[in-house]
Amino acid sequence: MSNQRDTFLSDSDGKRINPAEEFLLPEVDSGQTQDLTADTTDYEITVVAGGHYWVQHVGTGIAYMGIASALVATPANILWTIPTNQRIAIEIPVGYTVLHVSGTVAGDDLYISRKRT
């Protein structure tokens, strides 16, 4: 019996992601940047329904994302959180084309790019 443990990456829907996939180029012309200029303010990013995205948060606070508005006022709307200087993979639910984002520190940045499928 082996003591080896396998580690898998997964997206927000629990689907496995090939670790090498992180190094693939994103979909051409899919990159967007959102400057979180004011803390606790909701911003909107247009996305493709059912699309898979890499999202990176750069700054000193925490970024929040969801598919409904009022992220700060309604914590139940938060689907994903990204700690300082981290990158996550998410899948936008079918039927939604707007990603709502907010942060805890003014001046943080959020970078989003659609993954190649």
The pLDDT value given to residue 37? 83
- pLDDT tens, residue by residue, 97-115: 999 999 888 899 999 999 8
Place of tokens 């700690």: 83
Report whether pLDDT(24) > 90.
no
**CATH number given to 30-114:** 2.60.120.10
Query: Where do the domains of the chain lie?
Result: 30-114
The pLDDT value given to residue 71? 76
The pLDDT value given to residue 57? 93
Query: 101 versus 9: which is more confidently predicted?
Result: 101
Q: Which among 48, 50, 53, 43 is positioned nearest to 97, based on CA atoms?
A: 48
Answer whether 54's CB lies under 8 Å from 87's CB: yes
Q: β-strands 80-82, 43-46: how paired?
A: unpaired
- pLDDT tens, residue by residue, 35-93: 988 777 889 999 999 988 989 999 999 998 998 877 767 888 889 999 888 888 898 99
- pTM summary value: 0.77
The pLDDT value given to residue 19? 60
The pLDDT value given to residue 89? 87
Query: 45 versus 20: which is more confidently predicted?
Result: 45
For residues 16 and 61, give the distance between their C-alpha atoms in angstroms, rounded to a whole number.
Answer: 28
